[in-house]
Amino acid sequence: MRITLGGVRFKLPYSLTHSVRELAPRRDYLKAPEPEFAAAFRSDLDRLGPERIAARLRQIAEAEGDHRLVLLCFEDLAKPGLWCHRRMFAAWWKDRTGDEVRELSPMEDGHYQQGTLL
């Protein structure tokens, strides 16, 4: 599911069937330096709260009949020095719930390892 304000800027080999705009940063701080962006984004997440976010994600999981959800933004974190709100959400979620949101990453056999959020 997409957690960005805008749409995809390039062709994907899969379809994105859901968008969770509640987890997208707001335009008013989108271009802010990382510390200011992080503070504003975490404040937005605090206003939503983990219960409301979990309910929204459960709604999508139930609609899809699959508990394996992937939160997508489009920054390439393989490039040194880059950061993204997806990882900021993961840190906030762990702080609030104690549950880790792992990064989906390739394994040795070329498949991807995915954990669960809910």
pLDDT tens per residue, range 77-100: 777 888 889 999 999 999 999 999
DSSP readout, 18-61? -B-GGGSPPGGGTTS-HHHHHHHHHHHHHHHHHHHHHHHHHHHH
Q: Is residue 88 within 8 Å of 41, Cβ to Cβ?
A: yes
Q: Is residue 2 within 8 Å of 72, Cβ to Cβ?
A: yes
The confidence score (pLDDT) of residue 77 equals: 73
In this prediction, residue 109 has a pLDDT band, given cuts at 50, 70 and 90, of low
pLDDT at 118 over 80: no
Q: Where does residue 97 fall: left (phi above 0), alpha (psi -120 to 50 degrees), or beta otherwise?
A: alpha
More confident residue, 105 or 66: 66
What's the pTM value of the predicted model, to 2 decimals? 0.80
**What's the one-letter identity of residue 95?**
D
pLDDT tens per residue, range 18-75: 888 899 999 999 999 999 999 999 999 999 999 999 999 999 999 988 888 888 787 7
> Which 3 state secondary structure label does DSSP give 72?
strand
